[in-house]
Amino acid sequence: MTKQTATKDDAPLRLFKSDLLEWFTHISPVVVLVVFLPIIGFFLWRSARANQGIGWWHVLISFAIGLLIWPLVEYLLHRFVFHFSPKNPSERMKRMLFLMHGVHHAQPREKTRLVMPPVVSLPLAAIFYGIFLGLVGKLLKLPNYVDGIFAGFLLGYVIYDMTHYALHHFSFKGDYFMKLRRHHMAHHFKTHNQRFGVSTWFWDDVFGTNA
Rg (CA), the chain: 18
Tell me if 183 is assigned to some domain.
yes
Largest separation between any pair of C-alpha atoms in the chain: 58
Range of the domain at 80: 27-207
Residues 66 and 150: beta-carbon distance below 8 Å: yes
Tell me if 94 is assigned to some domain.
yes
Choose among 176, 185, 187, 180: nearest CA to 201.
180
Tell me if 99 is assigned to some domain.
yes
When mean pLDDT is compared over 2-11, 81-90, 174-183, 199-208, the highest value belongs to: 199-208
pLDDT of residue 93: 78
pLDDT of residue 199: 93
Three-state secondary structure call for residue 135? helix
Tens digits of per-residue pLDDT, 6-36? 444 567 788 778 878 787 778 899 999 999 9
pLDDT at 211 over 70: yes
Tell me if 18 is assigned to some domain.
no
pLDDT of residue 10: 65
Tell me if 89 is assigned to some domain.
yes
pLDDT of residue 6: 42
| Overall number of domains in the chain | 1
Residue 153 burial by CB count (10 A; 0-12/13-18/19+): exposed, middle or buried? buried
Tell me if 7 is assigned to some domain.
no
Q: What percent of the chain has pLDDT over 90?
A: 55
Give the pLDDT mean for 122-148. Answer: 97
Tell me if 9 is assigned to some domain.
no
Choose among 165, 158, 187, 148: nearest CA to 65.
148
Spatial CB neighbours of 137, under 8 Å, sequence gap ≥ 6: 143, 145, 146
* Count of beta carbons in the 10 Å neighbourhood of residue 121: 20
* Count of beta carbons in the 10 Å neighbourhood of residue 201: 22
Sorting pLDDT into bands at 50, 70 and 90, what band is 110? confident
Residues 105 and 1: beta-carbon distance below 8 Å: yes
Tell me if 80 is assigned to some domain.
yes
Within its chain, how far is the Cα of 152 from the centroid? Answer: 13
